[in-house]
Protein backbone atom coordinates (compact mmCIF):
# COMPACT_ATOMS: atom_id res chain seq x y z
CA UNK A 1 0.00 0.00 0.00
CA UNK A 2 1.28 3.48 -0.82
CA UNK A 3 0.91 5.76 2.19
CA UNK A 4 -0.29 9.25 1.21
CA UNK A 5 1.28 12.23 2.98
CA UNK A 6 -0.88 15.36 3.20
CA UNK A 7 0.91 18.53 4.35
CA UNK A 8 -1.64 20.64 6.17
CA UNK A 9 -1.26 24.16 7.49
CA UNK A 10 -2.95 23.99 10.88
CA UNK A 11 -3.36 27.77 11.00
CA UNK A 12 -5.61 28.26 7.93
CA UNK A 13 -9.28 29.17 8.40
CA UNK A 14 -12.02 26.73 7.57
CA UNK A 15 -9.68 23.73 7.80
CA UNK A 16 -12.69 21.40 7.76
CA UNK A 17 -13.20 22.10 4.05
CA UNK A 18 -9.51 21.88 3.14
CA UNK A 19 -9.23 19.41 0.21
CA UNK A 20 -6.58 17.35 2.04
CA UNK A 21 -8.72 17.02 5.18
CA UNK A 22 -11.71 16.11 3.00
CA UNK A 23 -9.60 13.46 1.22
CA UNK A 24 -8.45 11.95 4.53
CA UNK A 25 -12.02 12.06 5.94
CA UNK A 26 -13.28 10.27 2.82
CA UNK A 27 -10.77 7.45 3.40
CA UNK A 28 -11.92 7.16 7.03
CA UNK A 29 -15.51 6.83 5.81
CA UNK A 30 -14.32 4.05 3.51
CA UNK A 31 -12.93 2.29 6.61
CA UNK A 32 -9.28 2.94 5.78
CA UNK A 33 -6.88 4.06 8.53
CA UNK A 34 -5.18 7.45 8.58
CA UNK A 35 -2.63 8.98 10.99
CA UNK A 36 -3.42 12.42 12.39
CA UNK A 37 -1.70 14.93 14.66
CA UNK A 38 -3.18 15.64 18.09
CA UNK A 39 -1.82 17.96 20.79
CA UNK A 40 -0.23 14.95 22.57
CA UNK A 41 1.13 12.49 19.99
CA UNK A 42 0.11 11.36 16.48
CA UNK A 43 -2.82 8.94 16.47
CA UNK A 44 -3.74 6.20 14.00
CA UNK A 45 -7.42 6.82 13.30
CA UNK A 46 -10.15 4.53 12.04
CA UNK A 47 -13.96 4.35 12.11
CA UNK A 48 -14.76 3.23 15.67
CA UNK A 49 -18.08 1.73 14.54
CA UNK A 50 -16.56 -0.62 11.99
CA UNK A 51 -14.80 -3.90 12.79
CA UNK A 52 -12.82 -3.92 9.55
CA UNK A 53 -11.41 -0.43 10.13
CA UNK A 54 -10.52 -1.23 13.74
CA UNK A 55 -8.85 -4.50 12.71
CA UNK A 56 -6.66 -2.52 10.30
CA UNK A 57 -5.48 -0.35 13.22
CA UNK A 58 -4.49 -3.38 15.30
CA UNK A 59 -2.78 -5.01 12.30
CA UNK A 60 -0.75 -1.92 11.32
CA UNK A 61 0.46 -1.43 14.90
CA UNK A 62 0.96 -5.10 15.76
CA UNK A 63 -1.12 -4.33 18.87
CA UNK A 64 -2.41 -7.02 21.27
CA UNK A 65 -6.19 -7.34 20.78
CA UNK A 66 -6.95 -7.13 24.52
CA UNK A 67 -5.80 -3.49 24.60
CA UNK A 68 -8.78 -1.17 23.93
CA UNK A 69 -8.57 2.08 21.95
CA UNK A 70 -9.46 5.67 22.83
CA UNK A 71 -12.44 7.06 20.91
CA UNK A 72 -11.93 10.62 19.63
CA UNK A 73 -14.79 13.10 19.19
CA UNK A 74 -15.07 16.76 18.14
CA UNK A 75 -18.29 17.68 19.96
CA UNK A 76 -19.68 16.67 23.33
CA UNK A 77 -23.08 15.67 21.93
CA UNK A 78 -21.38 12.78 20.09
CA UNK A 79 -21.17 11.06 23.49
CA UNK A 80 -24.93 10.41 23.52
CA UNK A 81 -24.56 7.86 20.76
CA UNK A 82 -22.34 5.41 22.65
CA UNK A 83 -21.97 6.49 26.30
CA UNK A 84 -24.56 5.21 28.82
CA UNK A 85 -24.19 7.98 31.41
CA UNK A 86 -22.04 11.01 32.18
CA UNK A 87 -21.21 11.17 35.93
CA UNK A 88 -21.12 14.62 37.48
CA UNK A 89 -17.36 14.62 38.07
CA UNK A 90 -16.75 13.60 34.47
CA UNK A 91 -18.89 16.52 33.32
CA UNK A 92 -16.83 18.89 35.49
CA UNK A 93 -13.57 17.57 34.06
CA UNK A 94 -14.88 17.80 30.50
CA UNK A 95 -15.87 21.40 31.08
CA UNK A 96 -12.43 22.23 32.44
CA UNK A 97 -10.13 20.25 30.14
CA UNK A 98 -11.88 19.39 26.86
CA UNK A 99 -10.65 19.81 24.26
CA UNK A 100 -7.37 18.72 25.82
CA UNK A 101 -5.08 15.85 26.87
CA UNK A 102 -7.64 14.12 29.09
CA UNK A 103 -9.32 10.76 28.37
CA UNK A 104 -12.35 9.75 30.43
CA UNK A 105 -13.68 6.23 30.96
CA UNK A 106 -17.47 5.90 30.75
CA UNK A 107 -19.99 3.08 30.91
CA UNK A 108 -20.77 2.13 27.35
CA UNK A 109 -24.06 2.05 25.46
CA UNK A 110 -23.51 -1.35 23.91
CA UNK A 111 -24.04 -2.21 20.26
CA UNK A 112 -22.84 1.04 18.67
CA UNK A 113 -19.05 0.84 18.61
CA UNK A 114 -17.01 -2.03 17.24
CA UNK A 115 -16.36 -4.47 20.10
CA UNK A 116 -12.83 -4.80 18.79
CA UNK A 117 -12.25 -1.09 19.57
CA UNK A 118 -13.29 -1.49 23.21
CA UNK A 119 -11.82 -5.00 23.62
CA UNK A 120 -15.28 -6.23 24.61
CA UNK A 121 -15.25 -4.19 27.85
CA UNK A 122 -18.45 -2.62 29.17
CA UNK A 123 -16.62 0.70 29.36
CA UNK A 124 -15.25 3.08 26.75
CA UNK A 125 -12.39 5.62 26.81
CA UNK A 126 -13.15 8.95 25.11
CA UNK A 127 -11.33 12.19 24.48
CA UNK A 128 -11.64 15.43 22.52
CA UNK A 129 -8.20 16.35 21.17
CA UNK A 130 -7.07 19.99 21.21
CA UNK A 131 -5.56 20.19 17.74
CA UNK A 132 -7.07 22.06 14.77
CA UNK A 133 -6.20 19.28 12.28
CA UNK A 134 -7.65 16.51 14.47
CA UNK A 135 -10.82 18.50 15.16
CA UNK A 136 -11.27 19.41 11.48
CA UNK A 137 -10.86 15.77 10.44
CA UNK A 138 -13.31 14.56 13.09
CA UNK A 139 -15.89 17.15 12.02
CA UNK A 140 -15.40 16.39 8.35
CA UNK A 141 -15.82 12.60 8.64
CA UNK A 142 -18.70 12.86 11.14
CA UNK A 143 -17.65 9.62 12.88
CA UNK A 144 -16.28 8.68 16.29
CA UNK A 145 -12.66 7.81 15.53
CA UNK A 146 -10.70 5.14 17.40
CA UNK A 147 -7.07 6.23 17.58
CA UNK A 148 -4.17 4.70 19.48
CA UNK A 149 -0.76 6.31 19.20
CA UNK A 150 0.51 5.84 15.62
CA UNK A 151 3.63 3.79 16.44
CA UNK A 152 4.40 0.10 16.09
CA UNK A 153 3.42 -1.49 19.40
CA UNK A 154 6.21 -1.18 21.97
CA UNK A 155 8.02 1.72 20.23
CA UNK A 156 8.09 5.31 21.48
CA UNK A 157 4.93 7.19 20.46
CA UNK A 158 5.27 9.46 17.40
CA UNK A 159 5.43 13.22 17.85
CA UNK A 160 6.08 14.01 14.15
CA UNK A 161 4.76 12.66 10.83
CA UNK A 162 8.33 11.39 10.16
CA UNK A 163 8.10 9.20 13.28
CA UNK A 164 4.79 7.80 11.98
CA UNK A 165 6.33 6.97 8.60
CA UNK A 166 9.37 5.41 10.27
CA UNK A 167 7.02 2.81 11.82
CA UNK A 168 4.00 2.57 9.50
CA UNK A 169 4.97 3.62 5.94
CA UNK A 170 3.26 1.26 3.49
CA UNK A 171 0.96 -0.11 6.21
CA UNK A 172 -1.62 2.73 6.39
CA UNK A 173 -3.63 4.76 3.86
CA UNK A 174 -2.15 8.11 4.81
CA UNK A 175 -0.75 10.56 7.31
CA UNK A 176 -1.80 14.17 7.83
CA UNK A 177 1.41 16.07 8.53
CA UNK A 178 0.54 18.96 10.83
CA UNK A 179 4.05 19.45 12.23
CA UNK A 180 5.39 18.42 15.62
CA UNK A 181 2.83 17.83 18.38
CA UNK A 182 3.09 20.03 21.48
CA UNK A 183 2.48 18.19 24.74
CA UNK A 184 4.59 15.20 23.72
CA UNK A 185 3.23 12.60 26.17
CA UNK A 186 -0.20 10.99 25.80
CA UNK A 187 -3.43 12.05 27.45
CA UNK A 188 -4.17 11.35 31.10
CA UNK A 189 -6.64 8.45 31.38
CA UNK A 190 -9.14 8.92 34.24
CA UNK A 191 -11.83 6.47 35.33
CA UNK A 192 -14.90 8.40 36.51
CA UNK A 193 -17.20 5.39 36.83
CA UNK A 194 -16.62 5.26 40.61
CA UNK A 195 -17.16 7.91 43.32
CA UNK A 196 -13.51 8.95 43.48
CA UNK A 197 -11.90 9.41 40.04
CA UNK A 198 -8.87 7.18 39.43
CA UNK A 199 -5.88 8.03 37.20
CA UNK A 200 -5.19 4.93 35.10
CA UNK A 201 -2.40 6.56 33.08
CA UNK A 202 -0.65 9.83 33.97
CA UNK A 203 -0.44 12.24 31.04
CA UNK A 204 -0.79 15.78 29.75
CA UNK A 205 -3.34 16.91 32.36
CA UNK A 206 -1.64 16.71 35.76
CA UNK A 207 -3.01 15.23 38.97
CA UNK A 208 -2.83 18.71 40.49
CA UNK A 209 -5.06 20.05 37.69
CA UNK A 210 -7.61 17.28 38.23
CA UNK A 211 -7.74 17.81 41.99
CA UNK A 212 -8.36 21.52 41.47
CA UNK A 213 -11.62 20.69 39.66
CA UNK A 214 -13.00 17.56 41.39
CA UNK A 215 -11.19 17.29 44.73
CA UNK A 216 -9.53 14.00 45.75
CA UNK A 217 -8.25 11.78 42.96
CA UNK A 218 -6.64 8.35 43.30
CA UNK A 219 -3.86 6.83 41.24
CA UNK A 220 -4.24 3.21 40.07
CA UNK A 221 -2.17 1.20 42.57
CA UNK A 222 -0.52 -0.77 39.81
CA UNK A 223 1.22 2.47 38.77
CA UNK A 224 2.65 3.24 42.16
CA UNK A 225 4.61 0.04 42.40
CA UNK A 226 2.15 -2.56 43.70
CA UNK A 227 1.73 -5.98 42.15
CA UNK A 228 -1.92 -5.27 41.25
CA UNK A 229 -3.01 -5.65 37.63
CA UNK A 230 -3.32 -2.22 35.95
CA UNK A 231 -6.88 -1.13 35.17
CA UNK A 232 -5.85 0.29 31.78
CA UNK A 233 -4.95 -2.90 29.89
CA UNK A 234 -2.24 -1.05 27.93
CA UNK A 235 -0.28 -0.21 31.06
CA UNK A 236 0.84 -3.81 31.56
CA UNK A 237 2.92 -3.85 28.37
CA UNK A 238 6.53 -2.80 27.97
CA UNK A 239 6.43 0.40 25.99
CA UNK A 240 8.34 3.28 24.54
CA UNK A 241 11.52 1.22 24.52
CA UNK A 242 14.56 2.38 22.56
CA UNK A 243 16.56 -0.43 20.92
CA UNK A 244 19.47 -0.28 23.39
CA UNK A 245 18.91 -1.22 27.04
CA UNK A 246 18.24 1.86 29.13
CA UNK A 247 18.86 2.55 32.82
CA UNK A 248 17.49 5.45 34.86
CA UNK A 249 20.01 6.88 37.28
CA UNK A 250 19.11 8.49 40.59
CA UNK A 251 22.39 10.27 41.26
CA UNK A 252 24.68 13.18 40.47
CA UNK A 253 26.08 13.99 37.03
CA UNK A 254 29.50 12.82 38.32
CA UNK A 255 28.03 9.44 39.25
CA UNK A 256 26.40 9.08 35.81
CA UNK A 257 29.72 10.05 34.16
CA UNK A 258 31.44 7.29 36.13
CA UNK A 259 28.89 4.74 34.88
CA UNK A 260 29.57 5.96 31.33
CA UNK A 261 33.34 5.57 31.76
CA UNK A 262 32.95 2.02 33.12
CA UNK A 263 30.91 0.93 30.08
CA UNK A 264 33.21 2.69 27.63
CA UNK A 265 36.15 0.86 29.23
CA UNK A 266 34.37 -2.37 28.19
CA UNK A 267 34.34 -1.11 24.59
CA UNK A 268 30.65 -0.17 24.58
CA UNK A 269 29.10 2.91 22.97
CA UNK A 270 27.13 4.80 25.59
CA UNK A 271 24.22 7.27 25.26
CA UNK A 272 23.14 9.75 27.92
CA UNK A 273 19.66 11.26 28.16
CA UNK A 274 20.36 14.62 29.80
CA UNK A 275 18.80 18.09 29.85
CA UNK A 276 19.84 21.49 28.53
CA UNK A 277 21.15 22.37 31.98
CA UNK A 278 23.25 19.21 32.42
CA UNK A 279 24.28 18.00 28.93
CA UNK A 280 27.64 19.82 28.99
CA UNK A 281 28.65 17.90 32.15
CA UNK A 282 28.95 14.62 30.22
CA UNK A 283 31.58 13.18 27.89
CA UNK A 284 30.08 10.22 26.08
CA UNK A 285 29.40 8.76 22.61
CA UNK A 286 26.01 10.47 22.34
CA UNK A 287 24.64 12.99 24.83
CA UNK A 288 21.12 14.28 24.09
CA UNK A 289 19.50 17.22 25.85
CA UNK A 290 15.82 16.40 26.33
CA UNK A 291 14.28 19.77 27.15
CA UNK A 292 14.93 21.93 30.19
CA UNK A 293 14.89 20.44 33.67
CA UNK A 294 13.57 23.77 34.99
CA UNK A 295 10.56 23.52 32.61
CA UNK A 296 9.22 19.95 32.69
CA UNK A 297 6.72 20.48 29.82
CA UNK A 298 9.73 20.96 27.50
CA UNK A 299 11.07 17.56 28.64
CA UNK A 300 7.69 15.93 27.91
CA UNK A 301 7.58 17.57 24.52
CA UNK A 302 11.05 16.28 23.51
CA UNK A 303 10.94 12.86 25.21
CA UNK A 304 9.85 10.49 22.43
CA UNK A 305 11.92 12.21 19.74
CA UNK A 306 14.96 11.87 22.02
CA UNK A 307 14.28 8.14 22.60
CA UNK A 308 13.95 7.62 18.83
CA UNK A 309 17.17 9.54 18.13
CA UNK A 310 19.14 7.00 20.20
CA UNK A 311 17.89 4.37 17.72
CA UNK A 312 19.40 6.24 14.78
CA UNK A 313 22.92 5.87 16.23
CA UNK A 314 24.85 2.75 17.14
CA UNK A 315 24.48 2.83 20.91
CA UNK A 316 24.88 -0.19 23.21
CA UNK A 317 23.50 1.21 26.46
CA UNK A 318 21.67 4.38 27.55
CA UNK A 319 21.79 6.12 30.93
CA UNK A 320 19.01 8.58 31.68
CA UNK A 321 18.65 11.26 34.30
CA UNK A 322 15.47 11.10 36.40
CA UNK A 323 12.91 13.85 36.98
CA UNK A 324 10.72 15.10 39.84
CA UNK A 325 7.23 13.54 39.76
CA UNK A 326 5.28 16.76 40.26
CA UNK A 327 3.12 18.13 37.44
CA UNK A 328 3.79 16.53 34.07
CA UNK A 329 6.87 14.91 35.69
CA UNK A 330 4.58 12.07 36.77
CA UNK A 331 3.88 11.18 33.13
CA UNK A 332 7.55 11.65 32.15
CA UNK A 333 8.77 9.27 34.87
CA UNK A 334 6.01 6.74 34.08
CA UNK A 335 7.16 6.60 30.43
CA UNK A 336 10.88 6.58 31.29
CA UNK A 337 10.42 3.72 33.77
CA UNK A 338 8.58 1.72 31.11
CA UNK A 339 11.23 2.51 28.50
CA UNK A 340 13.85 1.30 30.99
CA UNK A 341 11.91 -1.84 31.94
CA UNK A 342 11.86 -0.40 35.51
CA UNK A 343 15.67 -0.54 35.80
CA UNK A 344 16.87 2.22 38.09
CA UNK A 345 20.36 2.63 39.53
CA UNK A 346 20.56 4.55 42.80
CA UNK A 347 23.79 6.29 43.87
CA UNK A 348 24.74 5.09 47.35
O1 LIG B 1 -2.93 11.13 23.86
C2 LIG B 1 -3.47 10.05 23.63
O3 LIG B 1 -4.25 9.50 24.43
C4 LIG B 1 -3.16 9.35 22.29
C5 LIG B 1 -3.68 10.24 21.16
C6 LIG B 1 -3.49 9.62 19.81
O7 LIG B 1 -5.03 10.55 21.41
N8 LIG B 1 -3.70 8.04 22.25
C9 LIG B 1 -3.20 7.02 22.97
O10 LIG B 1 -3.81 5.79 22.76
O11 LIG B 1 -2.27 7.13 23.74
P12 LIG B 1 -3.18 4.39 23.17
O13 LIG B 1 -4.04 3.39 22.51
O14 LIG B 1 -1.74 4.38 22.84
O15 LIG B 1 -3.42 4.28 24.72
C16 LIG B 1 -4.74 4.11 25.23
C17 LIG B 1 -4.70 3.69 26.68
C18 LIG B 1 -4.21 2.26 26.84
O19 LIG B 1 -3.39 2.16 28.00
C20 LIG B 1 -5.53 1.49 27.02
O21 LIG B 1 -5.37 0.27 27.71
C22 LIG B 1 -6.36 2.50 27.80
O23 LIG B 1 -6.02 3.75 27.22
N24 LIG B 1 -7.82 2.26 27.66
C25 LIG B 1 -8.58 2.34 26.53
N26 LIG B 1 -9.86 2.00 26.79
C27 LIG B 1 -9.93 1.71 28.10
C28 LIG B 1 -10.98 1.27 28.99
N29 LIG B 1 -12.23 1.11 28.57
N30 LIG B 1 -10.67 1.05 30.30
C31 LIG B 1 -9.40 1.25 30.75
N32 LIG B 1 -8.36 1.65 29.95
C33 LIG B 1 -8.62 1.87 28.67
MG1 LIG C 1 0.29 4.01 22.74
pLDDT confidence of residue 131: 98
Mean of the pLDDT values across residues 57-85?
Answer: 97
Give the per-residue pLDDT at 239.
77
pLDDT surpasses 80 at 69: yes
Domains of the chain: 4-225 (3.90.870.10), 246-346 (3.40.50.11030)
pLDDT value at position 289?
98
- Ligand number with the minimum distance to the CA of 203: 1
- Mean pLDDT of all residues in 143-166: 97
The closest of 143, 181, 146 to 162, measured between CA atoms, is: 181
Give residue-wise pLDDT tens across range 328-344.
999 999 999 999 999 99
Predicted local distance difference test score (pLDDT) of residue 226 = 66
For residue 38, what pLDDT is reported?
Answer: 98
Interatomic CA distance for residues 128 and 138, integer angstroms: 10
**What tens digit of pLDDT does each residue of 296-320 get?**
999 999 999 999 999 999 999 999 9
Quote the mean pLDDT of the chain.
96
Predicted local distance difference test score (pLDDT) of residue 224: 78
Spacing, Cα 67 to ligand 1 middle (Å) = 8
Give the number of whichever ligand sits closest to the CA of residue 154: 2
Q: Cα of 237 to ligand 1 centre, how many Å?
A: 12
Q: How many alpha carbons fall within 13 Å on the CB side of residue 217?
A: 25
> Which has the minimum average pLDDT: 154-163, 173-182, 221-230?
221-230
Centre of ligand 2 to C-alpha 157, Å, is: 6
Angle (CA) 68 146 307, round 5°: 75
pLDDT number for residue 230: 87
Answer yes or no: is pLDDT of 130 > 90: yes
Q: Name the pLDDT band for 240 (thresholds 50, 70, 90).
A: confident
- pTM of the prediction? 0.97
42/219 Cα distance (integer angstroms): 25
Q: Are strands 34-36 and 70-72 parallel, antiparallel or unpaired?
A: unpaired
Output 276 or 238, whichever has higher pLDDT.
276
What is the pLDDT, as a whole number, of residue 235? 84
Ligand 1 neighbours by CB, cut-off 6 Å: 38, 40-41, 43, 67-70, 101, 103, 105, 118, 121, 123-125, 129, 147-149, 186-187, 189, 200-201, 231-235
Look at strands 102-107 and 174-177 and give their pairing. unpaired
d(CA 175, CA 192): 33
Counting ligands in written order, the one closest to the CA of 119 is: 1
Once rounded to an integer, what is the mean pLDDT over residues 289-300? Answer: 98
Segment 94-117 mean pLDDT: 97
Look at residue 263 and tell me whether its pLDDT is greater than 70.
yes
Atom of ligand 1 nearest to the CA of 72: 7
Q: What confidence category does residue 241 fall into, taking pLDDT thresholds of 50, 70 and 90?
A: confident
178-232 tens-digit pLDDT: 999 999 999 999 999 999 999 999 999 999 999 999 999 999 988 877 677 888 8
pLDDT of amino acid 272? 98
Amino acid sequence: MRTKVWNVDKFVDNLENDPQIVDAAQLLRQNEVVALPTETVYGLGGNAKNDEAVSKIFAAKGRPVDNPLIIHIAEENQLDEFVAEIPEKAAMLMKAYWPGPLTLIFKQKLGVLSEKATAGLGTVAVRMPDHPVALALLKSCKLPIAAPSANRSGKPSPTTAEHVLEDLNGKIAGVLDGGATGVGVESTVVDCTEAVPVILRPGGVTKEQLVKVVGPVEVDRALTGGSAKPKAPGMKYKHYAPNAPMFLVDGTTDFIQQLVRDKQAQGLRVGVLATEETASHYKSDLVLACGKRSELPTVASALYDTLRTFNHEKIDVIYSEIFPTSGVGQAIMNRLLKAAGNHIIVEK
